[in-house]
Amino acid sequence: MRSTGTLWINSRLPESGAARRAYWFAGWLMAQALPNRAALGVQLSPALFGKLVDGPAFKPGLEAMRRHDPDATASLERVLRLAPSELSDLARFEGHPTDSGAPGAGSWGVGGAMGQPQRLVEAAAARLLVEDVAWQFGALELGFWSAASREVLDTCCMDAASLAAAVCGSRAHQPVTGPAVRRAFRVVLQGVVSEREGLAPEDEPHGGGSAVNDGSGTSYGGGLFDVSGRSEAVVAECLWEVLDGWPPALVAAFLRFTTGTDRLPMQGTEALTISFPFTALGAAERRAALHMLPQAHTCTNTLELPDYYSALMSASAADRQGAAIAGVAWGSAEDLANAPRVERWERGITGAGGAAQGGAWLRARCKEVLAERLEYAVVHGAGAYALDDLDE
């Protein structure tokens, strides 16, 4: 569970003798942590220990779900606010019998004995915590109680929380940093368009389209991409430099904005896609990208970035053309030395050594624009304008 940083039973695992034995052994190993004072060092879902301690009395309601997965619980709580017609449609979609007429014990109608919203929520919680993992938990439970004594746990007044602490150990939450993000995710660079800068697909690194740092790049789980010379690669490089310079609280906000939670996954288990989907059809559209904010799809861990570097190049080219038409010497070293700082940023550097200096200026300006736009997005955009926000 990403939102709580804990592990849960694999509900999609096909049932087999080998799988049952593996879960039995997992339960036995959990029990061995108690007498040997050897915590596992991994965090398991609180619901797992609630089921072990409470046994048949375990109640898979909203409170258990809130400890298990706060994000899923928030989605379930939205059901309680649905209109009656939407509730009936949802019940029908979930396969529950509906009867909007006379309420009764077996009715899922709005006037049902327990109320349709609450029953839908309870049914969903029971499915997630009990029904979908029935054989897996059954095997794990047998293994656990083969090596642990319920009488001893009762004597020690050990509840689910204390049992979890004894089995799993400390669960200190480490600060999130830029390098930690790169190490945790398989980073994908997506959306490179060859035709935009006159490159044929066969001339583009990796054949165009995307680049993955899966070992063919500089490092596993992070680093930069072998797409040298591409404007998107410059923006991606600037992204990592920005994140590396941010404090942990701001990096955590970036992670929540992009993935829906501020907790990192286990290394290499999830992908983080940096996408450039905004195809500019002309110089005017490229310049307009400077005013766009980054967007995110939390369901697929996708960060969509405008190509700020190409936008800056177009803006600089327009400035040079306008200066030439007006007969003004654009960006000479002497002019820039006497110009205000803001004007120097906007005009860049030309003349002797100007190409290299201009490129450095564009890159620095790209990083500045990206940092400003991204910070605004992650601070003000999470839960407000994100593409996957369901509250709008």
Interval 329-354: pLDDT, tens: 434 444 444 444 334 444 444 434 44
- Between 109 and 52, name the one with better pLDDT: 52
Tell me if residue 299 is catalytic. Answer: yes
Q: Pick the catalytic residue: 156, 238, 299, 366?
A: 299
What confidence category does residue 248 fall into, taking pLDDT thresholds of 50, 70 and 90?
Answer: very high
Distance in angstroms (rounded) separating the CA atoms of residues 262 and 392: 22
Q: Whole-model pTM?
A: 0.52
Interval 301-329: pLDDT, tens: 999 998 888 888 877 655 544 444 444 34
Beta-strand (E) ranges in 232-351?
270-275, 295-297, 302-304
What confidence category does residue 191 fall into, taking pLDDT thresholds of 50, 70 and 90?
Answer: low
- DSSP assignments along 158-178, one per residue: --HHHHHHHHH-----PPP-H
* Residue 250 backbone dihedrals phi, psi, to 5 degrees: -75, -35
Q: Confirm if 275 and 304 have CB atoms less than 8 A apart.
A: yes
Closest C-alpha to 279, from 386, 195, 221: 195
Q: Confirm if 69 and 110 have CB atoms less than 8 A apart.
A: no
Q: Which residue has the tokens 């800056």?
A: 312
Closest C-alpha to 94, from 65, 126, 62: 126
Q: Confirm if 235 and 370 have CB atoms less than 8 A apart.
A: yes
Q: Which residue has the tokens 């995710």?
A: 185
pLDDT at 72 over 60: yes
Question: H-helix or E-strand containing 207?
Answer: none
| Maximum pairwise Cα distance, the chain | 93
Closest C-alpha to 290, from 318, 328, 322, 263: 318
Distance in angstroms (rounded) separating the CA atoms of residues 150 and 155: 9
Distance in angstroms (rounded) separating the CA atoms of residues 88 and 109: 7
Neighbours of 373 (CB within 10 A): 18
